[in-house]
Every structure is written in structure tokens, then in C-alpha cells.
Amino acid sequence: MGYLGGFLVSLRQIGRKQRVTTQYPEEKAPKALRVHGRHVLNRYEDGMEKCIGCELCAGVCPARCIYVRGAENDPENPVSPGERFGFIYEINYLRCIHCDLCVEACPTEAITESKMFEFSFTSRADAIYTKSELVVDDAGMPKHLPWEDWRPGEDLNTSAWMRATAPSGAAEFEGIIGWSGELGYGIRAPEAGQELKDAITATHGHDDHGHDDHGHDDHGHDHGDHDHDDHGHGGH
């Protein structure tokens, strides 16, 4: 009877309407507010790139997977405000652990993360994202690459983590805007504080991110000291 008793567990489920299984990947469960996914390089509202090639993100990265080279801006045709811009920017996703320390370190909010983490590769070269893939498009949205599984709304969630923690995570700054506008969004609203119950709610289907005015929710070092063997620069 003990053996047959195991089948009773299955039989009791027949006819039950309330299912908890999500039919992934056809259907994705809502993601928590501050999930760390694929990075984007943001632009200012006038289209200028925010990255100034300072390499702080590369310096702080514990996985040493960012490679940045800065270059002087052409005063007649600058890429970013100021003297320098990120001439080369690469992230090796074979190494990235999505800790977001790069996001925390960036002084201009240039590098942030979306919440899309469903992407994989069949070659090392494809795993290394370059500027052409990371910089947002002319509408301020992440580029959708053939091997990425974006679903509606996921490309709106590109900086909630940065806005939740800046500046320096001090409680007295909660709700106070300390960041610049973004192409396609303007100045985004602050992230609300996240209680444990909010996180649990989010994972069960309520996407209650901070909303902005647009109705979007949001959710060198040189080659010598950078182990770059598997970046495959030849392909970039």
C-alpha cells in the first residue's frame, strides 16, 4: 500500500484548477524588482553617450570581464559630453557574475542592467558584447540580439538597481533624484524602498516598479594587466 500511496499524490492533482507550474520558456514568471540581467550602455536625452571611458567599471569588476579604452572626443563631433568617451567597451559574458559592482562604480550612470537574463551563445566571440551591442538604440532601448529572449516590457527595466541604491545607499537619500535623464525616458522616478514582502509579491506576479512620467516601469587598464585571453579580440 505504501507503494500505491505514492500514486495517490498524483491522482489527487487531477482536475485541480490551481496550477503553480510556469510553462517556461513559452511563459516567463515575473521577475523580482532588482534582478540583474544583460547590461546596457545608456545615452543622455540629447543622444550623447554617457560613458566617458574612465574605466572605473573595469577596475571594480571582480570577474575582470570588462575591457574599456577611452579616447579624446573630437570637439567638432563629440560622442559624449566632456573630454573623453568610451572608444572600446566590451563585456565578456562567459565571466560576468552580474554582481552590478560596475553599475555602482560608474560616475555617470552609463552602465546599467536590464532584467533580461535569457541569452546564451554558441561561440566565445558571441559571448563578448561590444559597444555596438551594448549602447542603447536611438529610442533609448536595448538592442535585441538574435540569441536573446526579450519579452514585452523587459527592455524597459534597465536601471532600477542603480536608482534604488544611489547615492551610496544612504537611507536619507531614499526617494531623492541623484541621476541624469536618459534617452527615451527623461529623468526616471526614484525606486521605492523594497521590503521583503514587496520582493515576494513581485515574484508572484505583481510588477510594482517605480513609474516615471512616461509610464515606463523600471524596474585602461591595458592589455598588459588584463587577462584577456578568451575575449577573442580578433573577432571584434
In 166-214, alpha helices (H): 196-203
Which residue number, 35 or 68, has a Cβ lying nearer to ligand SF4? 68
| Cell, residue 84 | 573623453
* Closest separation in Å from C-beta 210 to ligand SF4: 21
Which residue number, 129 or 185, has a Cβ lying nearer to ligand SF4? 129
Which residue number, 82 or 193, has a Cβ lying nearer to ligand SF4? 82
CB atoms within 10 A of CB 53: 25
CB atoms within 10 A of CB 200: 11
* Closest separation in Å from C-beta 66 to ligand SF4: 5
Which residue number, 74 or 195, has a Cβ lying nearer to ligand SF4? 74
* Closest separation in Å from C-beta 88 to ligand SF4: 10
Which residue number, 81 or 186, has a Cβ lying nearer to ligand SF4? 81
User: Residues of 120-143 as b/e, b for ≥16 C-beta within 10 angstroms?
Assistant: eeeeeebbbbbbebbbbeeebbbe
SS3 163: helix
113: phi then psi, degrees, rounded to nearest 5? -125, 140
* Closest separation in Å from C-beta 54 to ligand SF4: 4
Which residue number, 33 or 96, has a Cβ lying nearer to ligand SF4? 96
Contacts with ligand SF4 by CB under 6 A lie at 51-57, 61-63, 65-66, 68, 86, 91, 96-102, 105-106, 108, 110-111
What span, in angstroms and rounded, lies between the C-alpha atoms of 234 and 189? 41
SS3 71: strand
Contact 61, 101 (CB under 8 A): yes
Q: Which of 38, 33, 3 is nearest to 206 (CA)?
A: 33
* Closest separation in Å from C-beta 85 to ligand SF4: 9
* Closest separation in Å from C-beta 160 to ligand SF4: 15
